[in-house]
Each structure stands twice: as C-alpha cells, then as structure tokens.
C-alpha cells in the first residue's frame, strides 16, 4: 500500500498540471470503489482547481464549492495524461481539463476512493478524527510521551494508529524504530520521554528523506509521471528479514504484528 511519502510525491507530481486549470469533463466508468463514487462529483465541471493538498494518505483537490478527495487504497495509481490516451483495464475515473490534460485514476483492487466533500463537510468522518501530520509542528517534542501514558500496546502498533499520528505506515515505522533503537514490540507506556522525543525526530527525518528521494518503489505504485521511487534502495530493515544488520551484522528477525511484517535487529533494538 502506498504510504505517506508516496502520496506526497504523487501530490507534488500532479500539482503543476492541474492547479489553476478548469475541469471540462468528469468520467466515471466504474463507481464501485471502497465507497461508491458520488454523482455530486460532476458538479466540478466548469470549476477551477484552487489547490492540491494532502491529509494523511488522502489527496485533496480544492474547488470553490468543496473538495475532491482521492485515496490510492492498496493498488491505486493516479496519472496525468493526454486526453486521447487509450483506456486500459481498471481505469475507473477521469477528470479532464480544458487544457487537454486528464487526471486518470486506476485501481485494480478497488480499495481506493474518489469522494466529494462540500465545504466544511466530512460525512464519513475521514479527516476530522485524524491525528497530526508527522512533518508538522503539532508532532513535536513531548507529543508522543503525552499520548503514550498508560498505553500497553506495542510501540509499532501505536505509531500506526492514525488517531495518534497520521502517515507513519508499516515501512517507515519499521525504519524509524530501527534507527531509534527501539523494538517494535516494546510497550509504549514503558518508553521514557527522551527516547520518544528521539523517535519523533527520526520519524520526521525518515519521512522527509523518502519524499526527497521520490517515494518507495512498491509493486503497485509509481510517480505521477510514471517514474518509480528510489527510497527502497535506502531501507535498512524493511524487506530484509534474515539478512545481516547494516550496523552490527546480526541476523534481522521478522514477526507479525496486526497482520503486518515487523523486521528488527535483536541486538541494536531494545525494549
């Protein structure tokens, strides 16, 4: 599943092509995504894109009357293409613009989303209950320690809770915990404030590096211009179970947490 850096890279990729551009046509080929694509989306025809933002893993296309919300799900991709580009299987949604470009959403597994939120409206509560952005000032020293008090859940599970902080998905939680020297199974409430503050800084560093390098190359994700991301070359633990630790050469171990893979070094990482 694309994680925060991949979605941010996608935002950066599509923004120059659609900001200040006027929608000429909306095409819905198959509305059966995670939630049905609402007919209200047709209301953006004739409107100009005022901005492209990101909240957690949601892309937000801002219009005068509301927001078009896009989520890539597990296998979704967004491309900026020419208007005459042939349709391929799983091309479910098009947003065509007067200057001849088309934003096309393709999603084989259909776990993604294309939704319309009128101004100041969030019917499904998708955005209102989210925690702070990890690269924002709201996610700062003392925040994790305050939220961690009396929490007995494993720290990796804690970090992947979008009510705590958004966008620290499985790949980057693995990487940040390794760099912070904390086992993914460590009980959250037992970790002292100094280590949690260091973890906060490392999360920011890891995510920023991933964005700067173009996002991680995942099976179902490439950038808006079709180029793959490059951060996978820099991963220290994720996807390297059984290989030697880059720091101490110990064999990296793998466990399952909440049906997700956790890879760690038993020597470098502690409770």
The rounded distance, in Å, linking the Cα atoms of 78 and 92 is: 11
Instruction: Residue count of the chain, please give it.
Output: 271
Helices 193-212 and 170-180: angle between axes, nearest 10 degrees:
130
- For 195, the token pair is 């280590």
Is residue 142 within 8 Å of residue 197, measured between CB atoms? yes
Show which residues are catalytic: 2-3, 57, 260
Is residue 154 within 8 Å of residue 188, measured between CB atoms? yes
Instruction: Name the pTM for this structure.
Output: 0.89
The tens-digit pLDDT sequence of the chain (271 residues) is 678 988 998 999 899 999 999 999 999 999 999 999 999 999 999 999 999 999 999 999 999 999 999 999 988 889 999 999 999 999 999 999 999 999 999 999 999 999 999 987 776 678 888 999 999 999 999 999 999 999 999 999 999 999 999 999 999 999 999 999 999 999 999 999 999 999 999 999 999 998 888 766 555 556 666 665 656 668 999 999 999 999 999 999 999 999 999 999 999 999 9
For the chain, residues classed under CATH 1.10.8.50 are 143-264
Helices 193-212 and 4-18: angle between axes, nearest 10 degrees:
40
151 is in an annotated binding site: yes
**Which runs of consecutive H residues, i.e. helices, occur in 169-264?**
170-180, 193-212
Residue 230's contacts (CB-CB under 8 Å, 6 or more residues apart) are 213, 214, 215, 217
Residue 56's contacts (CB-CB under 8 Å, 6 or more residues apart) are 4, 127, 130, 133, 162, 166, 167
User: What are the pLDDT digits (tens) for 91-120?
Assistant: 999 999 999 999 999 999 999 999 999 987
Max CA distance (Å), the chain: 60
For the chain, residues classed under CATH 3.20.190.10 are 4-118
90 is in an annotated binding site: yes
* Domain 143-264 of CATH type 1.10.10.10: no
- For 253, the token pair is 């171990």
Q: DSSP strand E in 63-150: where? A: 66-71, 77-82, 91-97, 101-106, 113-118
14-41 burial, b if ≥16 CB within 10 A, otherwise e? bbebbeebebeebebeeeebbeebeeeb
Is residue 106 within 8 Å of residue 76, measured between CB atoms? yes
256 is in an annotated binding site: no
- For 252, the token pair is 């990296």
Beta bridge partners of 81: 102
CATH number assigned to the domain covering 4-118:
3.20.190.10
């Amino acid at each position: 599943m694309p994680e925060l850096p991949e979605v941010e890279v996608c935002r950066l990729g599509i923004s120059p092509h659609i900001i200040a551009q006027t929608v000429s046509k909306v095409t819905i080929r198959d509305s059966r995504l995670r939630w049905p694509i609402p007919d209200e989306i047709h209301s953006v025809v004739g409107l100009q894109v005022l901005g492209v933002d990101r909240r957690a893993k949601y892309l937000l296309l801002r219009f005068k009357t509301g927001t078009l919300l896009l989520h890539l799900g597990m296998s979704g991709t967004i491309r900026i293409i020419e208007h005459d580009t042939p349709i391929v299987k799983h091309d479910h949604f098009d947003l065509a613009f007067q200057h001849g470009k088309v934003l096309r959403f393709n999603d084989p597994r259909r776990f993604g989303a294309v939704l319309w939120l009128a101004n100041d409206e969030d019917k499904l509560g998708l955005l209102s209950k989210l925690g702070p952005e990890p690269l924002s000032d709201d996610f700062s020293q003392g925040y994790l320690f305050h939220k961690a008090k009396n929490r007995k859940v494993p720290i990796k599970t804690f970090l992947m809770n979008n009510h705590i902080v958004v966008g620290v998905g499985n790949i980057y939680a693995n990487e940040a915990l390794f760099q912070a020297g904390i086992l993914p199974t460590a009980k959250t409430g037992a970790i002292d404030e100094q280590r949690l503050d260091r973890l906060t800084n490392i999360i920011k560093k890891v995510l920023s590096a991933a964005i700067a390098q173009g996002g991680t190359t995942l099976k179902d994700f490439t950038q808006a211009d079709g180029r793959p991301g490059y951060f996978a070359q820099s991963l220290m633990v994720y996807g390297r179970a059984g290989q030697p630790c880059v720091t101490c050469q110990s064999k990296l171990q793998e466990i399952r947490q909440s049906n997700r893979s956790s890879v760690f070094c038993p020597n470098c990482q502690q409770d």
